[in-house]
Structure 1
Amino acid sequence: MAVSADAAVVELLDSSNYVDWSVWVKTYLLAQDLWDVVEQDEEEEEEESDDNFKAWREKNATALHTIQISCGREASSLIRNTSSAKRAWDTLAENFKPKPFLPSAGYDKSLYKPLFDAVSRGDWNEAKEFLTLHPDAIRARHPYSTNTALYMATELEHEHIVEELVQLMFEEDLEITDNDGWTALAVAAQRGNIKMVECMVGKSKKILGITTNQNLTPILLASIYDQWDVVHYLYSVTPIEDLMPEKGPYGAGLIYYFITGRKFGMARELIRCCPQLVLTKDHYGVIPIEAFRPSAFPSGTRLKFWQQWIYDS
């Protein structure tokens, strides 16, 4: 289906692309200062003054329209009668967000079926017995989902199994990705599970820089999904040189999310290390300075303003 010229996405939402679609739309809404109406509890609307409610209503309509024109036929039918951007977003997440893979009886007759079954149940003792007999199974892929046991345990948030599997793995085993380029670390970061994130990074620092097919690193995924405990940790262990412009758009993207997430101290710190990041394009072609709203700048003094903002004590 053709994408509208003013759509926020390169593909309309369907049953196969929710993860990427939600990142695209959220990033667009953040850039347009519209994401807060998607996050806001509807009960809060009634407490606002008439002027504030009018402003909210306009933003809600714009955000809802953005979501609507970014949907395919099936998705559109689910939110056709919805007047709230938040309800529309939640409805689409409920219907299209991938569910953790749960094997059913008879799904797999391969050698590694006992391992995947044990991991899905959270039974580490059985999984360990199998891995003792078949150590190579630790990097085997499920024949249907094509994901490893570690990826499955991460999705299901079986923290104890994740910790045990990581201990048995070589560093390169943690670099295995799914079909969309997501490592198990990317999943843990997106879910905000700091315990699993620390466990994996403790084994391998290289996985910090592995990007998804959408060119997103684990710290950017955590930022997009407002998992700030994870962001703080990943930022503390990420080499600063990996965020410089010559290494790609990752530092610029991180500054943008710091600013829109109101993590101004972290934004200042990174900009002080490399001021040119403010004018460097991120993975979506956006420069971080655009995160500053026009109302924050006196006319004709945008550059002077952010320079002062950075160096103010």
Structure 2
Amino acid sequence: MEPPKPEDDIVKYKAWIEKNASALNAIGLSCELDIFSQIKKINSAKVVWDTLAKRYGQPSQGVLNSVGEQGNSSNISGTKEDKPSGAAAKKTTDRNSSNNPGRGDEKSHDYVKYAALLNLVRSGNLDALKDFLRLHPEATSAKITFIDQTALHIAVLAGHEHIVEELVERMSDDNLAIQDIDGYTALARATTTGNYRMVECMIKKNQKLVSIAESSWGSIPVVISMNFDYKELAHYLYSLTPQHDLEPEKGHHGASLVSFAIYTLALDIAVDLIRRCPQLAFALDREQFSPLYVLASTSEAFLSGKHLVFWKRWVYSCMHVRPASRATHETRVNIQNIQGETITTSGFKKLREMKLIHIQSHELLSRMCEKISTLNEEARSNGGVYAAIFRAIKEGNFEFVYEIVRANPDLLYVIEYPAKRTIFMLALLHRQAKIFSLIYGLPQRKIALSGFDATYNNTLHMAGIFTTSTPIHHIPGAALQMQRELQWFKEVESLVPPMLKKGLNNDCLTPRQLFTRDHEDLMKKGEEWIKSTATSCTVVGALIVTIMFAAAFTVPGVSVPVNLFVLMQFPLLVDMTKSTYGPSIFNKKMKGWI
């Protein structure tokens, strides 16, 4: 039976629309996602059922009768034999009730009524959608799914820009603010997809949407877009978001935006927002971290987090990058002694972008450091200042530690609890040579090295501690790793007061004894590495094997008078080591900086 046409009988046509929608909804609820994807663009329940019958061999008489004659959704599933019974029926009932908690028959009827609209929006059929909305103009504001989504929500998630534009044009400003079960407006859902055109379309009609937070995380659209790393969209939303929405008194929006901007290296937004509202540096974001702490953990925002080869370091030093005005991507670049056209190549472009990020990160850090000096002890602790310093040391974020203690020298003596370790103890524990080298810029370095932690480990003990998390994996081969550990211990030993060399910790171990115990496994692996290398490298192997048993390397404190540094007497190994690691771990030429 052909469906009635609106020009023939509008009453019958409306009745058919509702019956057809009921059938489509029932079929859709019964299908798995992979099957539904095959039929979602079909607008006729009869055609859908015949398609499924053809593919899966099910009879179509039941659904044809229910759509064409009765319109009763309870009969849509076909004949009695087609309906589930027993456990299967209970499972279906439980599933439907779990998808529709606390909702009455009236709302369920609405979902059935608008099933055709749901299908039209998902399929992107604009002409059919217009026909439906002419008959049901109220449908634009109806919640048509079990999770309270409107047709606009569905169109956004389906990615149909033309459908979104049509619906926005028909909807009122207030209806654009309708939220789904998770508190997302259609605009908020659009920000999760990064669709600039959809977002712009909705905001042009109702700019107040930028201030509506979803309920899952309590985030406003600009925070959502930055979290998903949609930088262009985030810049657009940031320019339209009222500043008072981003102040600490309004919740975590501002702190979260700064944190996500740091994570995604969209630092122009972070700098601008901290400039306008400095206290955001110490406010907690939605993950309960302060932006200062996030910056400390993001070592790639600073030059020390990058390892550039020689020519890139030279080009980097020659670049002059000046950030443009607030929250834009525009920069002015001038590179001395380099032809203008070469800057367009990808390598130079990446270096330019890198240097811009480093300039912005320094400005951001400087603004945060200025504010730290005005905070009392409680505000520093609650704002994550101390935690940020300790995290920066672990990450090897030299610029962060240097700038923050230079601007606030009293922070040089902060203690990490409950371990009760100083900045320099932590630098040794995490093998951060550049940070530890700050000790050479202090006038009273011996005093700074004289502390003890909660288990009575002194500074030299820190150089002897070795765990699975000790950062030596960038060094190839266990023997060279062992050599590096010895080098650390020897250099720290030359710095500490003599009494610390014999100091005992709570395990009654001196620093040398602790070093020996913790490095026993690495020592064995180093011996195996040397043997395997000697086997595979004939010439070098002959030299190594010659001295291997006569002067096998050991660790400090072992009674056998042999030393790993014997290997360093061979010119080849000396050259290899110097070219790889340099003559010293620490920068002993560090100038006074306090």
Same fold (TM over 0.5): yes
Query: Counterpart in 2 of 1:110?
Result: 112
1:129 paired to 2:232: no
Query: Counterpart in 1 of 2:268?
Result: 265
- What is the 5 A alignment of 1:146-157? 146-157=148-159
Identity in percent: 37
**Alignment: residue pair count:** 207
- What is the 5 A alignment of 1:253-292? 253-292=256-295
Radius of gyration: which is bigger? 2
- Distance (Å, rounded) in 2 between the aligned partners of 1:145 and 1:278: 37
- Measure how far apart 1:194 and its partner are: 0.3
Query: Counterpart in 2 of 1:170?
Result: 172
- Measure how far apart 1:204 and its partner are: 1.1
- Distance (Å, rounded) in 1 between the aligned partners of 2:113 and 2:406: 62
Partner of 1:110, secondary structure, is helix
Counterpart of 1:140, as a letter, is A
1:251 paired to 2:254: yes
**Cα 1:142/1:180, change in 2 over 3 Å:** same
Partner of 1:298, secondary structure, is helix
- Measure how far apart 1:276 and its partner are: 0.8
- Distance (Å, rounded) in 1 between the aligned partners of 2:179 and 2:272: 32
- Distance (Å, rounded) in 1 between the aligned partners of 2:407 and 2:224: 31
- Measure how far apart 1:304 and its partner are: 3.3
Counterpart of 1:242, as a letter, is D
Query: Counterpart in 2 of 1:199?
Result: 201
Between 1:283-292 and 1:250-259, the stretch displaced more is 283-292
**Cα 1:112/1:255, change in 2 over 3 Å:** same
Counterpart of 2:242, as a letter, is P
1:298 paired to 2:428: no
Partner of 2:249, secondary structure, is helix
- Measure how far apart 1:234 and its partner are: 0.4
* Structure 1 segments of 4+ aligned residues over 4 angstroms from their partners: 101-109
- What is the 5 A alignment of 1:165-244? 165-213=167-215, 214-244=217-247
Residues 185-215 of structure 1 deviation map (CA, whole Å, 9 limit, x = unaligned): 1111111100001011111122112112221
Report which structure shows greater RCO (CA 8 Å, sep ≥6).
1
Counterpart of 2:245, as a letter, is D
Give the conservation status (yes or no) of the 8 Å contact 1:114–1:127: no
- Measure how far apart 1:255 and its partner are: 0.7
Give the conservation status (yes or no) of the 8 Å contact 2:140–2:171: yes
- Distance (Å, rounded) in 2 between the aligned partners of 1:121 and 1:280: 45
Counterpart of 1:207, as a letter, is L
- Distance (Å, rounded) in 1 between the aligned partners of 2:251 and 2:146: 34
Residues 12-67 of structure 1 deviation map (CA, whole Å, 9 limit, x = unaligned): xxxxxxxxxxxxxxxxxxxxxxxxxxxxxxxxxxxxxxxxxxxxxxxxxxxxxxxx
- Distance (Å, rounded) in 1 between the aligned partners of 2:113 and 2:283: 49
- Measure how far apart 1:263 and its partner are: 1.5
**Cα 1:128/1:302, change in 2 over 3 Å:** farther
Counterpart of 1:278, as a letter, is A
- Distance (Å, rounded) in 1 between the aligned partners of 2:257 and 2:406: 20
- Distance (Å, rounded) in 1 between the aligned partners of 2:281 and 2:235: 20
Give the conservation status (yes or no) of the 8 Å contact 1:141–1:148: yes
- Measure how far apart 1:230 and its partner are: 1.0
Counterpart of 2:290, as a letter, is I
Counterpart of 1:183, as a letter, is T
**Cα 1:303/1:224, change in 2 over 3 Å:** farther
**Cα 1:291/1:113, change in 2 over 3 Å:** same
- Distance (Å, rounded) in 2 between the aligned partners of 1:300 and 1:114: 62
Partner of 2:113, secondary structure, is coil
Between 1:271-280 and 1:200-209, the stretch displaced more is 200-209
Counterpart of 2:159, as a letter, is E
Give the conservation status (yes or no) of the 8 Å contact 1:188–1:196: yes
- Measure how far apart 1:279 and its partner are: 1.0
Give the conservation status (yes or no) of the 8 Å contact 1:249–1:280: yes
**Cα 1:177/1:303, change in 2 over 3 Å:** farther
- Measure how far apart 1:144 and its partner are: 3.5
Give the conservation status (yes or no) of the 8 Å contact 2:231–2:266: no
**Cα 1:303/1:268, change in 2 over 3 Å:** farther
Counterpart of 2:401, as a letter, is P
Counterpart of 2:229, as a letter, is D
- Distance (Å, rounded) in 1 between the aligned partners of 2:163 and 2:153: 11
- Measure how far apart 1:114 and its partner are: 2.5
Counterpart of 2:176, as a letter, is L
**Cα 1:113/1:297, change in 2 over 3 Å:** closer
- Distance (Å, rounded) in 1 between the aligned partners of 2:245 and 2:400: 30
Counterpart of 1:304, as a letter, is A
- Distance (Å, rounded) in 2 between the aligned partners of 1:215 and 1:209: 11
- Measure how far apart 1:244 and its partner are: 1.2
Partner of 2:165, secondary structure, is helix
TM-score (norm 1): 0.61
Partner of 1:297, secondary structure, is helix
**Cα 1:142/1:279, change in 2 over 3 Å:** same
- Measure how far apart 1:302 and its partner are: 5.4
TM-score (norm 2): 0.33
Partner of 2:234, secondary structure, is helix
- Distance (Å, rounded) in 2 between the aligned partners of 1:173 and 1:302: 52
Give the conservation status (yes or no) of the 8 Å contact 2:114–2:139: yes
- Distance (Å, rounded) in 2 between the aligned partners of 1:232 and 1:300: 28
